[in-house]
Amino acid sequence: MVAAKNRLLILFLMSAVSATGFGSPSLFSGTQEDLDYKGENYSINIKKSPFQLTVNNYCRDIIKISGIINENDDTTLPCNVVRLETGNERINLLLSSPDSKYYSAVILLKDNGLRLTLTSAEKANNKKLGFRFDTKTSGHWYGGAVVKAHLWPLEANKITVDPFYATSNQTSPIWYTSGGAGIFAETYNTMGYSFNRSAEGVFELFSKNTSEFNLNIASGKNIKEAYYLLTEKIGKPSVVPPADFFIYPQFNTWIEFMTMVNQAGILKYTQEIKKNNFPSCLFIIDDKWTRFYGDPEFDTDKFPDPIKMIGLLHENNFRIVLWITPFIEKDSKNFRYASDNHFLIMNLSDEEPYFTEWWNGTAALVDLSNPAAYSWFLGLLEGLKIKYGVDGFKLDAGDAEYLDSPYRSFGNITPNEYTDLFASLGKHFEANELRVSWMAQSMGLIQRLRDKAPSWSETDGINSLIPHALTLSLLGYSYACPDMIGGGLDSEFKNRNYKFDEELFVRWTEASALMPMMQYSLAPWKLSKENVAICRKYSELHVSLGDYIYSLAEQSRIDGSPIIRPLFFEFPDDAGTFLIKDQFMLGSRFLVAPVLQKGALSRKIYLPAGTWIDFRSGKIFRGAQTIEYPAPLDVLPVFVKVE
């Protein structure tokens, strides 16, 4: 331990020397107990015993680090600052715990925030290394994992996500506080986090099996400004998907056909779309259009003439997207070729390919960290575009969890890196769709919510739709698709006791109508005549606002603005907006409040300060109040903000 301390002390002194002589003493003040830094846009207070770091935006405390996590032995002990140096735009700390462990903390001071690097003196990687935050002082919390977003706000719930990596749905190591802080842990390592696990009012965030942890903290005057500050670091979408994808409802084969998808059924289904006067553009051919996973060729038993089929679909103005995964079955033709050319993820202990269990069986994974393997796999997809005229791909199942056993890759990548490599295939095609990503915000891909249960559930049914979609937006994924109307979780539909709920389907259509995209699978014309008309009406409403939605998508490319937003994004000084998870803003103009409770014919709606016009009736409402709004089955409450 003495050697470890000396090694870290040398590193600390080297960084301190580089800082000394360039400082601005007027920015720093302190006592034996603490240090204060006052910048133009924020201040920092560091308490030495025990170590604490608080960031204040000159209105309130927006983030407070209350300790360090280093759990090689599953214990967390307080640390004290044993040495401190200040210099030009930096603070260097040497920390010690009661069990004689040492850490270096280097704080780089930026105009609108800071970057904090924590390094352990241990040569070996730490089981956990990170920070503990006091949530009581920082307000409400949002971000992290989309599938946890119905627990809104996060700090009000007991949550443990360990491991935290790119799986199930979009995840990013990004969080915001209502006070005006944004935090971004810039790493592809497997992480973990929790709220209220070790104690009430504590958020724990750590990286696993590492000796260094980096954290970016943005300080804004409110949560909206923090979002834009962090977006500059994370990256804005570099491209915008085609306008038609936003303007017109999409259709997908999954729930309508499941794995029985076939050419005759698709042609009949698309004819019914036109016959029933539903606007459309993108058509997704989902799972089991191939015979084997890993051989991206049409199963000729199901698709006797796919070239003719796609030609007919194009004539009817459909763009065609095929479902693709990174899995290669052992029985596929491509398995031997990929194995012989070292294009597969390998076992760590031998020269055999790594196999993983997924929802459709056992398969190998193409090693996308190998440039030759990446080019080969991309070539398979591009070949489908050339041969059949398909327009793009729905890229599914790139989850990091499929690399949760020891493995070896060409590029020595982490599971999270694998997820984003798989996502990057989408950049090569105008039409794309992803379900999982880690730090792929700048790629400008279409990101969908995971398959949801056909239920009124808050966890994974219609009531999760809005908080999950809003968190997707806050994580920097503006081009969001709420997945299939009525639910896309096939296990529920296969249950012999499942009873189709027309009311749920109609309310789901309404809830999706003013989201960036809307997507059907189960044929809406199977509903009663009256309910088909409602679904068609809201599909047409989506089209009528399509140009506005697309203008928001273009704005997102320019400055990162989300298309749909929590109410607090537009009204960050209104404390009443931070608990609302069943309303959303479409841009800055439209407030949308779908009915999400079974049997409800009205609902309470909060209108923030200002003047609002009822989109349906034209009636004017004053803001800063909660109203009871009548909403029979054919009514989606929408209000327009008067500028």
Give helix 306-315 / helix 263-275 axis angle, nearest 10°: 10
pLDDT-based confidence at residue 11 (cuts at 50, 70, 90)? low
**According to the model, what pLDDT value does residue 16 have?**
43
Distance CA 365, CA 358 (A): 11
335 within a domain of the structure (yes/no): no
Q: How far apart are CA 302 and CA 171, in angstroms?
A: 36
Q: Which helix (H) or strand (E) holds 542?
A: helix 529-544
> How far, in Å, CA of 577 to CA of 511, rounded?
19
The DSSP code for 617 is T
pLDDT digits (tens, 9 = 90+) for 212-226: 999 999 999 999 999
What are the pLDDT digits (tens) for 79-101? 999 999 998 899 999 999 888 88
Report helix, strand or coil for 218: strand
Q: What percentage of the chain carries pLDDT values higher than 70? A: 95
Is the separation of the CB atoms in 421 and 325 below 8 Å? no
Residues in the chain: 643
Verify that 547 and 630 share a domain, yes or no.
no
pLDDT band at 13 (very low <50, low <70, confident <90, very high): very low
Q: Do 277 and 195 fall into the same domain?
A: no
CA angle 497, 256, 487 (to 5 degrees): 65
CATH of the domain at 106: 2.60.40
Does residue 631 sit in the same domain as residue 507?
no
Report the CATH number that the domain containing residue 430 is assigned in CATH: 3.20.20.80
Domain residues for 607?
Answer: 565-641
Band (pLDDT 50/70/90 cuts) for residue 643 is confident
Is residue 8 very low, low, confident or very high in pLDDT (cuts 50, 70, 90)?
A: low
Same domain, 79 and 39: yes
> Which amino acid belongs to residue 161?
V
Contacts of residue 241, Cβ cutoff 8 Å, sequence gap at least 6: 430, 431, 432, 444, 445, 446, 479, 553
Element containing residue 27 per DSSP (H, E): none
pLDDT at 484: 97
Boundary (domain end) residue, out of 210, 234, 258? 234
Domain containing residue 628: CATH number: 2.60.40.1180
Q: Which of 71, 75, 97 is nearest to 4 (CA)?
A: 97
Q: Are 575 and 537 members of one domain?
A: no
Q: Check: CB of residue 290 under 8 Å from CB of residue 334.
A: no
Do 253 and 219 share a structural domain? no
Percent helix, strand and coil across the chain, each to the nearest 5: 30, 30, 40
pTM for the model: 0.95
Long-range contacts (CB closer than 8 Å, 24 or more residues apart) made by 530-534: 531/502, 531/505, 531/506, 531/633, 532/276, 534/506, 534/509, 534/510, 534/633, 534/634
Which residues pair with residue 207 across a beta bridge?
A: 129, 191
What six digits make up the tokens of 626?
A: 């909660």
Q: Which band of pLDDT confidence, cut at 50, 70 and 90, is reported for residue 130?
A: very high
Residues 6+ apart with CB under 8 A from 81: 46, 48, 49, 51, 93, 94, 95
Final residue in a domain of this structure, among 533, 562, 591: 562
49-74 tens-digit pLDDT: 999 999 999 999 999 999 999 876 55
Residue 123's pLDDT band (cuts 50, 70, 90): low
* Mean pLDDT estimate for the chain: 94
CA torsion through residues 496, 500, 501, 506, sign:
positive
Q: Are residues 227 and 271 in the same domain?
A: no
Query: Do the beta carbons of residue 251 and residue 283 sit within 8 Å?
Result: yes
Do 10 and 81 lie in a common domain? yes
pLDDT of residue 343: 98
Helices (H) and strands (E) in the chain, counts: 15, 38
Q: Is 429 in the same domain as 522?
A: yes
| 360: in domain | no
Judged against a pLDDT cut of 60, whether residue 169 lies above it is answered with yes
Tell me whether residue 344 is in a domain: no
- Give the span between the Cα atoms of 149 and 143, in whole angstroms: 7
Return the closest-CA partner of residue 586 out of 568, 562, 609, 608: 562
CB 564 within 8 A of CB 469: yes
Which residue reads 């927006």 in tokens? Answer: 62
Taking CA atoms, 566 is separated from 22, 68, 608, in Å, by 43, 32, 12
Sign of the Cα pseudo-torsion (384, 390, 392, 396, in order): negative
Q: Is residue 330 part of a domain?
A: no
497 band by pLDDT with thresholds 50, 70 and 90: confident
Residue 12 has pLDDT above 80, yes or no: no
| 3-state DSSP assignment of residue 249 | coil
What local confidence, expressed as pLDDT, does residue 6 receive? 55
Residues 186 and 112 in one domain: yes
What are 418-467's pLDDT values in tens digits?
999 999 999 999 999 999 999 999 999 999 999 999 999 999 999 999 99
For 586-598, what is the mean pLDDT?
98
Residues 118 and 212 sit within 8 Å (Cβ to Cβ): yes
Of the candidates 195, 217, 234, which is a domain's last residue?
234
Residue 339 lies in a domain: no
* Mean pLDDT value of segment 404-425: 97
pLDDT of amino acid 76: 65
In a domain, 266, yes or no: yes
Band of pLDDT at residue 516, cut at 50, 70 and 90:
very high
pLDDT at 122: 76
**C-alpha dist (Å) from residue 412 to 3, 173, 369, 517:** 30, 21, 8, 37
What is the tally of structural domains in the chain?
A: 3
pLDDT computed for residue 250 by the predictor: 98
391: Cα separation from own chain's centroid: 25
Task: Judge if 419 and 400 occupy the same domain.
Answer: yes
Confidence class for position 23, pLDDT limits 50, 70, 90 = very low
Residue 347 belongs to a domain: no
> 248: closest CA among 425, 431, 411?
431
Residue in 32, 60, 26 with CA at minimum distance from that of residue 46: 32
Residue 7 predicted with pLDDT over 60: no
Strand partners, 358: 361
Q: Is residue 197 part of a domain?
A: yes
The pLDDT, as a whole number, for residue 17 is 36
Structure tokens at 62: 């927006």
Residues 399 and 463 in one domain: yes
- Buried b / exposed e over 116-145, threshold 16 CB at 10 Å, is bebbbbbeeebebbbbbbbbebbbbbbbbb
